[in-house]
Structure 1
Amino acid sequence: MPRKGEAGCVFCEIVKGELHGHVVLETDEVMAFLDTRPLFKGHTLLVPKEHHETLPDLPEGLVGPLFGEAKRLAKAMEEGLEAAGSFVALNNRISQSVPHLHVHVVPRNPKDGLRGFFWPRTKYASDAEAAEYAARLQEALLRTETV
């Protein structure tokens, strides 16, 4: 049974507007916002608005909307951030720092330093810099066809 929110879930609080997040996109089913500890600036987390912990928990009807928007975000990384490509991944329980299903969409460039599964984190210089990255991705999404 889908749950609208889970007490203490940071991502549910962002979805409900109770916690601030630099929102990149929002539909009826999903929301994407910048990771606060990005691998690279523009690293976005895409979540179903309903609380589902893992991919196997996700109802079939949400698989298409979730991954359709992941596809759009991957394209937006290239267009909006001038990235050469992207890295798209999710974890189920193991290495899942927040127990709410989330897809990482990360801008990538040659020789960016990401090797295997060693993922050094960075941070934004300021809230304004994070907002600027979110705005660039939002603009690119406007130019990207909806699924």
Structure 2
Amino acid sequence: MTSFIVEAHVGRVVRPEWAGDPQCAFCSILQKKLPAYILYEDEKVISILDIAPLRLGHTLVIPKVHLKHISELPEDYAAALGLAVTRVAKALTKFLENPGLNVVGNQEYAQAVPHVHYHIIPAPQLDAPRGTGTYNALNPPTEKEMHRMELEGRTELDEDFAKEFSDRIRRELSATASSHL
């Protein structure tokens, strides 16, 4: 049965937009031409740490097919992305001990890399001091101030943090996957 399915795809023409874009940073990561801190990977999806994180743990979930629009995703890739977002979000919230997060997917508007991807961004913790990616509940910023502070607070990904963090999240995801078998 499997050989019949494989044979049906031999010589199949792949849609050009699915083949990857040599100018796309995410396609270069998928082809291992650029380094990345991988948190999760399966046959359809990869999850990596953002190189310019808004907050500690800012993660991207990317399909292994080059498409610019979420609205163009085949259902099997959309399902794989949804599953990966759920698994990675669960591991992030457990590790960071912070259940709050944002999941964002852009299509053209605010899309820095023209390849479908979702951001999983841990929420600020309102009881911590300013300047730590969190906010003091006694003196909370306005929404406009919060957006400005978050944009100004973006820095490059710290390599030491990225290695330790990605190792721990991968272990958590591996343990979670094993418990579902």
- Normalised by the size of structure 1, how large is the TM-score? 0.88
Listed one character per residue, the Cα deviations across residues 121-146 of structure 1 (whole Å, up to 9, x for unaligned) are 2333x412211111121122123346
Q: Which has the higher contact order (CA 8 A, sep 6+)?
A: 1
Partner of residue 10, structure 1: 25
Report how far residue 41 of structure 1 moved: 1.6
- Give 1:132's aligned amino acid: E
* Contact preservation (8 Å) 2:53, 2:155: yes
Structure 1: segments with no counterpart, 5+ residues: none
* Contact preservation (8 Å) 2:98, 2:125: no
Secondary structure of residue in 2 paired with 1:144:
helix
Partner of residue 86, structure 1: 101
Structure 2: segments with no counterpart, 5+ residues: 1-14, 127-133, 136-140
Secondary structure of residue in 1 paired with 2:18:
coil
Listed one character per residue, the Cα deviations across residues 44-102 of structure 1 (whole Å, up to 9, x for unaligned) are 11100110111011111211111111011111111122223221111000100000001
Pairing 1:123–2:156 present? yes
* Structure 1: distance between partners of 2:62 and 2:92: 17
Matched ranges for 1:1-147 at <5 A? 1=15, 3-111=18-126, 112-113=134-135, 115=143, 118=147, 119-120=150-151, 121-124=154-157, 126-145=158-177
- Normalised by the size of structure 2, how large is the TM-score? 0.73
- Give 2:174's aligned amino acid: L
Which has the higher Rg, Structure 1 or Structure 2?
A: 2
RMSD over aligned CA atoms reads 2.0
* Contact preservation (8 Å) 2:95, 2:169: yes
4+ residue stretches of structure 1 with deviation over 3 A?
113-117
- Give 1:60's aligned amino acid: E
Aligned length: 145
Structure with higher helix content: 2
